[in-house]
């Protein structure tokens, strides 16, 4: 339980799990912070992935969720369809406008979608997934696929989205 004292300080007590903060502030709504474990999948089938390391952190202010994380691969094979980051801590809101924006940096990719020079991600409505896209001059958003990644690929990401979860 958390309470704000007359001096404006925040007093924390039991109620949050290990490594988590839970704070109820009427103006913002519920405030939470914690960690999550991101992963990779494809919309057709999931690749076989061995991770060198991976992790993520979040801060939730009411419906607004901020995330940051990274995945470092030691091997990847197979998988089909469009690339998705998995394991978001809360479901992305069901409205198209609630997808937010996720900055995605991909290092040591095997290949990039044709004519792509930049990457970005969008939360997938009603899911705990981030779609990963490439874009370049004269192109629309092009999906990354598991085949675009290599055995030494590192993905770093950070951004925000809205959730409908209580």
Residues 6+ apart with CB under 8 A from 26: none
Q: What is the pLDDT of residues 107-122, one digit of tens each?
A: 998 899 989 999 999 9
Which of 20-24, 37-41, 49-53 bottoms out in mean pLDDT, i.e. has the lowest? Answer: 20-24
Q: How confident is the model over 77-100, as a mean pLDDT?
A: 96
Q: For the chain, give me the number of helices (H) and strands (E)?
A: 0, 13
Q: Is the pLDDT assigned to residue 9 strictly greater than 70? A: no
Q: Which residues of 72-111 are buried (b: 16+ CB within 10 A; e: fewer)?
A: bbeebeebeebbbbbbbbbbbbeeeebbbebebebeebee
Q: Is the pLDDT assigned to residue 64 strictly greater than 70? A: yes
pTM strictly above 0.85: no
Q: What is the pLDDT of residues 144-160, one digit of tens each?
A: 999 999 999 999 999 99
- How much is the pLDDT for 138? 87
Rg, the chain, Cα only: 18
Q: How confident is the model over 61-72, as a mean pLDDT?
A: 96
């Amino acid at each position: 339980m958390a309470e704000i004292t007359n001096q404006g300080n925040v007093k924390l007590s039991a109620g949050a799990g290990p490594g988590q903060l839970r704070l109820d502030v009427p103006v913002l709504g519920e405030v939470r912070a914690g960690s999550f474990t991101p992963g990779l999948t494809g919309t057709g089938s999931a690749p076989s992935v061995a991770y060198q390391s991976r992790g993520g952190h979040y801060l939730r202010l009411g419906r607004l969720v901020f995330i940051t994380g990274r995945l470092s691969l030691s091997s990847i094979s197979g998988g089909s369809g469009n690339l998705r980051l998995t394991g978001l801590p809360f479901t992305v809101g069901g409205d198209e406008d609630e997808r937010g924006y996720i900055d995605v940096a991909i290092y040591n990719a095997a290949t990039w979608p044709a004519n792509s020079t930049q990457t970005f991600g969008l939360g997938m409505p009603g899911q705990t997934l981030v779609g990963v896209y490439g874009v370049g001059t004269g192109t629309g958003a092009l999906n990354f696929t598991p085949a675009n990644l290599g055995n030494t690929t590192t993905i770093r990401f950070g951004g925000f989205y809205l959730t409908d979860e209580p």
